[in-house]
Amino acid sequence: MYRAMIDLDLDMRQYDCPFIDTTDDVDVAFSAVQWQLDTDAEKLETRLIAKGESAAALDQGLHELRTHPNMRDCYILTKRDNVAQIGTTIEQTNAMRAIQENDGYITGPFRIEDGRERWHVGFDDDDAEDRTLAELERHNDYEVEDRDQFGPTTLFDLLENSDSALRLLEGCRSLTETEQETFEVASKNGYYETPRETTLDELADHFDISKTAVSMNLRRSERKILKAALGAIEGMDDHDEL
């Protein structure tokens, strides 16, 4: 029997999570690097990157985290300015229990900021998904931001080409804020359509800068993205040859 894995992208607010409570009160964000759920001991061990709006905000956030009633252990691995790598052990939350008991599983890293958490959760069938979402709704606040279904072939392709995907992601992240905004506005306004739906002059007016400055910002962003895309393609070609 053919089955496709269901992958949900959830915007979640748990009411018993130390990380969410901390980001409610302090300008700090957490991104998971590694996690391990011990269902027998009802605890979650994590390695996270904590980033504060400032060094003072980071210190305050770590203090709030350590003193939270659902936090068992919180320690600093490395720290520099407003960024730290930390290790934590927290009590199993209601949402974790609901997902685990209904045969769900975490499929990707989670990020916590401004009192909300982005989760990636997988299920093997619709019934498991429905049971979990019904239980989550009773004790948490969430929205399904995206839902995909992957067959074995697609999953295999994603795993085999993860290095290429990472190269492309790193290339996109290398854009400065100005380069990213210029590229996005140009694309959304049809600059790359044939025929073009906007011009450099119109983009210059939009950003209130010179036509030359817009052109340079676009060229820099295009160069970075193209380099990343070519690197990703080369990685795919190398894998195909193997």
- Structural domain boundaries, residue 209: 161-241
The residue type at 59: D
216 and 139 housed in the same domain: no
Give the C-alpha separation, 151 to 46, whole Å: 29
Give the C-alpha separation, 187 to 172, whole Å: 15
Binned at pLDDT 50, 70 and 90, residue 242 comes out as: very low
Binned at pLDDT 50, 70 and 90, residue 170 comes out as: confident
151 and 196 housed in the same domain: no
28 and 56 housed in the same domain: yes
Binned at pLDDT 50, 70 and 90, residue 203 comes out as: very high
Give the C-alpha separation, 113 to 11, whole Å: 11
Q: Which residues partner with 113 through β-bridges? A: 116
**What pLDDT shows up at residue 54?**
95
Token code pair at residue 63: 């203090």
62 and 109 housed in the same domain: yes
With a cut of 70, say whether residue 175 has pLDDT above it. yes
236: domain CATH number is 1.10.10
Sign of CA dihedral 206, 208, 214, 218: negative
Residues 108, 162 contacting (CB under 8 angstroms): no
**What pLDDT shows up at residue 1?**
46
Last residue in a domain, options 155, 176, 198:
155
Element (H, E) at 57: helix 55-66
Count of structural domains, the chain = 2
44 and 19 housed in the same domain: yes
Last residue in a domain, options 155, 185, 208:
155
pLDDT digits (tens, 9 = 90+) for 88-136: 999 889 998 899 899 888 877 789 999 999 988 889 888 999 999 999 9
In whole numbers, what is the pLDDT of the chain averaged over residues?
A: 87
pLDDT digits (tens, 9 = 90+) for 33-71: 788 877 777 888 889 999 999 999 999 999 999 999 999
80 and 185 housed in the same domain: no
- Cα distances (Å, whole numbers) of residue 94 to 20, 43, 70, 140, 234: 13, 11, 12, 8, 44
Give the C-alpha separation, 228 to 166, whole Å: 9
With a cut of 50, say whether residue 2 has pLDDT above it. no
pLDDT digits (tens, 9 = 90+) for 215-233: 999 999 999 988 888 887 8
167 and 92 housed in the same domain: no
Sign of CA dihedral 166, 167, 170, 172: negative
Residues 3, 10 contacting (CB under 8 angstroms): no
Binned at pLDDT 50, 70 and 90, residue 238 comes out as: low
In this structure, the strands spanning 28-38 and 5-13 are unpaired
The SS3 of residue 88 is strand
